Amino acid sequence: MVKKWILAGLFLMAVSLFAGCGKQEQAAVKPAKMVKVQLIVPKTANAGTSIPLKAVVTQGKEKVDDADEVKFEIWKENSDKNSSMLEAKHDQHGIYTAKTVIKEPGTYTVQVHVTARKMHVMPKTALSVN
User: What domain count does the chain have?
Assistant: 2
Same domain, residue pair 48 and 98: yes
In angstroms, the CA 23 to CA 111 distance is 42
Closest by CA to 70, choosing from 8, 24, 120, 26, is 120
How far is the CA of 31 from the CAs of 26, 48, 67, 129, in angstroms? 10, 45, 19, 41
Residues 18, 50, single domain; the answer is no
Q: Which amino acid is at 117?
A: R
Looking at the fold, whether 121 and 79 belong to one and the same domain comes out as yes
Its domain, for residue 114, covers 35-129
Q: What is the pTM of this model?
A: 0.76
Please indicate, yes or no, whether residues 116 and 79 belong to a single structural domain of this protein: yes
| pLDDT tens, the chain, 130 aa long | 555 555 455 555 655 656 555 555 555 667 789 999 999 999 999 999 999 999 999 999 999 999 999 999 999 998 878 899 999 999 999 999 999 999 999 999 999 999 999 999 999 999 999 9
Are both 16 and 42 inside the same structural domain?
A: no
Q: Which of 58, 59, 123, 53 is nearest to 89 (CA)?
A: 53
